[in-house]
A = this chain, B = another copy of it.
Amino acid sequence: MNQAAYAAVDWGTSSFRLWLIDRTGHVLAERRSDEGMTRAATIGFAAVLQGHLGAVGAAADLPVIICGMAGARQGWVEAGYVDTPAPLAAILAGAVTVPGQSRDIRILPGIAQRCTSAPDVMRGEETQLLGALGNDAAGEALVCMPGTHSKWAEIRNGTVARFATFMTGELFAAISHGTILAHAILGAEAAEDRSAFQHAVVEAFKTPARAANLLFRVRSRQLLFGGSPAAARETISGTLIGLELAAGLAKGAPRGNLTLVASGRLAVLYRLAFDTLSVAVQCIDADAAVLAGLSRAAAATWTR
């Protein structure tokens, strides 16, 4: 494994991902675990990282570049924020070195929107943006990054002009498990219902103010007309995603060059939602984007 040039780490709240990368940018090895910030804060960040580095046979002096919640106040070392309007290049320049380590470990900063009328923060998604768009991209782009806390970012000439977080994924979880609708979706598991999802996206997009009513209809519909648990779950999902899209695609937002940065099931769902609304969107894999962003950061930090 001595051809490794550095390790790249995406350290989220509940997940940890590490890639071992060679000089040409190829992935030599990959590790995934649930030792996100929350668990790592208990175990110890250095121990978690060293465990994974040891498992892939990393050299003792292999440098490590990290993005995500490891740089939060409650994380390993606070990496602060670059304030909007935030040039993506400033992310590269803002990396913080973890002190007292035998190897060179850098944590990338997040982005903060210190605006009292629309305060917002991101940590990790700035690295996806860096990977998806590069730090010298010309022109305007609107980027949707779905997740527990979906981010919508407006980028102008390589600078994050502004962004907004929608707690869509977390609302889905809280509503699916913590309300009367938990009964409606019991047994849905992996079953799908594309048409229920698409119908819900359109309804919420057209009448976002009715969101709390559209959600209750999931129960009323099942009570009065029956219907599958899968249809119920997809309706909840479609309602919340349609609500998010109603804001993200509202008049005034830049519609040209819309990019979706997502992976797995979220990529499928959001792509379907955009298609349902006849909104053209370019798709970039979120895993590839974060890795590309970390690689850019590594190149800026350790090569010249």
The distance from the CB of A270 to the nearest CB of chain B, in whole angstroms, is 14
Which chain B positions have C-beta within 8 A of A170?
179-180
- Complex Cα distance A212/B165, Å? 8
Chain A interface helix/strand/loop/mixed: helix
- Complex Cα distance A180/B174, Å? 10
Closest residue to A164 on the B side, CB-wise?
Answer: B213
| Interface residue? A55 (CB, 8 A) | no
Copies of this protein, total: 2
| Interface residue? A217 (CB, 8 A) | yes
The verdict on A119 contacting B247 (CB below 8 Å), with A167-B179, A240-B212 known, is no
Closest residue to A212 on the B side, CB-wise?
Answer: B166
The distance from the CB of A277 to the nearest CB of chain B, in whole angstroms, is 13
For A216, give its contact among B165, B220, B221 (CB under 8 Å): B165
Closest residue to A121 on the B side, CB-wise?
Answer: B220
Tell me if B217 and A119 are in contact (CB < 8 A): yes
| Interface residue? A32 (CB, 8 A) | no
| Interface residue? A279 (CB, 8 A) | no
Per the 8 Å Cβ criterion, residues 168-203 of A in contact with B are 168, 170-171, 173-175, 177-180
Which chain B positions have C-beta within 8 A of A221?
116, 119
Interface centre among A212, A243, A244 (most CB of B within 10 A): A212
| Interface residue? A114 (CB, 8 A) | yes
- Complex Cα distance A224/B225, Å? 47
Which chain B positions have C-beta within 8 A of A208?
208-209, 211
Tell me if A165 and B120 are in contact (CB < 8 A): no
The distance from the CB of A115 to the nearest CB of chain B, in whole angstroms, is 9
- Complex Cα distance A175/B167, Å? 10
| Interface residue? A284 (CB, 8 A) | no
| Interface residue? A268 (CB, 8 A) | no
| Interface residue? A112 (CB, 8 A) | yes
| Interface residue? A47 (CB, 8 A) | no
Tell me if A212 and B243 are in contact (CB < 8 A): yes
| Interface residue? A207 (CB, 8 A) | yes
